Structure 1
Amino acid sequence: MNLSIVTEKLEPLTIATKQLNTAIDLFLSNLDFLSSLTLAGAAEEILGKLLEKEGKEPVLHRLVQLTAIEYEKEKDVFNFYNKFRNAYKHLDEDLGYVSTNYMAMIMIERGCCNYRSLLASETKQIAKFRERVFPDITYEEAINGKVGFAPPQELHEFIKTNEK
């Protein structure tokens, strides 16, 4: 293989967009849910930081606030939502058996929400993901901040376990 060197100037938004689009492609083609999860997690984090720089709220903060009302423990809710991304990113915890497709779906949707909040638009892949995974959510609803998933039952179990 003859490898030619390719140089690119990469901005954070370009990086996050490429990561999110690739995560969606992997997810929708059922090729690799774990890579989809970690790519989407990286994109979601970058997009969240870009939103914060603009004085806007990332979807994770909205989810934590909405969910923490019930539990009054924002830190536990925040830790739950990032548990799988961080465990696979840092290899710091044995998670046992995990529904990687479900966790990838949540992470992709978080990235998509941040992208929409930042740019008030969708890439072709984001639109395809929304149409295939959340067909009841219109483009207008998505652009206006509607999230495609409710807090999972696992969140309730996670909080109860950490109450001890």
Structure 2
Amino acid sequence: MAVTSKLEVASELLTEALRLFLEGKSYFASLNLAGAAEGILGKFIENIGGVPAFKNMRDTAVLFLERDDDGGSVPRGDPVRDMADLINSAKNSTKHGIIDVEFDPKEEAQDLIDRAIENYYTLQSQFDLRQIDQLHQYHEIRYRRKS
């Protein structure tokens, strides 16, 4: 039986998420592949004492929510858990339950891919991660200036 590094698994998942996204199809699959890669890479970041992209985004959003300066009321409950649920709602709604999903799959796939890429870049200085050729093409498309 072959042994495969979880980092290799995450790299493959991210590569395939990028491939599907760049082909302009299967955004739901791309979203979930990127989400899986993000989760694996995030565990490695936590293992070396870092903060993964998801937790950074969640904690920043909670900080802004708690510093609500417009006089509005801050929601009750667990703001960290509520924000985590909100950030992951698209991904989780495709995997759980039988209710139809209602969101832009391309936009949500981009969000998950962005977080997975952020985690990937964070780990590059610590681990020998394989090169993902589609990263350059993705960045060109994602961040091209609109005329």
SS, match of residue 98 in structure 1: coil
1:79 match: 85
2:115 match: 110
Do 2:20 and 2:26's aligned partners in 1 also have CA atoms closer than 8 Å?
A: yes
Once the two structures are TM-superposed, the CA of residue 38 in structure 1 deviates from its matched residue by 0.6
* Aligned-residue CA RMSD (Å): 1.9
Q: After TM superposition, what 4+ stretches of structure 1 lie above 6 angstroms from structure 2? A: none
Query: Relative contact order: is structure 1 or structure 2 higher (C-alpha 8 Å, sep ≥ 6)?
Result: 2
Once the two structures are TM-superposed, the CA of residue 94 in structure 1 deviates from its matched residue by 2.0
TM-score of the superposed pair, with normalisation by structure 2: 0.79
2:139 match: 130
Q: Which runs of 5+ in 2 are unaligned?
A: 67-78
How far, CA to CA, are the matches of 1:20 and 1:51 in structure 2? Answer: 16
Once the two structures are TM-superposed, the CA of residue 31 in structure 1 deviates from its matched residue by 1.9
1:40 match: 34
The percentage of counterpart residues that share the same residue type is 27
1:15 aligns with 2:21: no
Once the two structures are TM-superposed, the CA of residue 74 in structure 1 deviates from its matched residue by 2.2
TM-score of the superposed pair, with normalisation by structure 1: 0.72
Encode CA deviations 1:107-138: one digit per residue, 9 max, x unaligned: 011100000011148622222212221247xx
How far, CA to CA, are the matches of 2:83 and 2:100 in structure 1? Answer: 17
When structure 1 is superposed on structure 2, of 71-80 and 40-49 the one drifting more is 71-80
How far, CA to CA, are the matches of 1:50 and 1:24 in structure 2? Answer: 21
Do 2:93 and 2:101's aligned partners in 1 also have CA atoms closer than 8 Å?
A: no
Once the two structures are TM-superposed, the CA of residue 8 in structure 1 deviates from its matched residue by 4.1
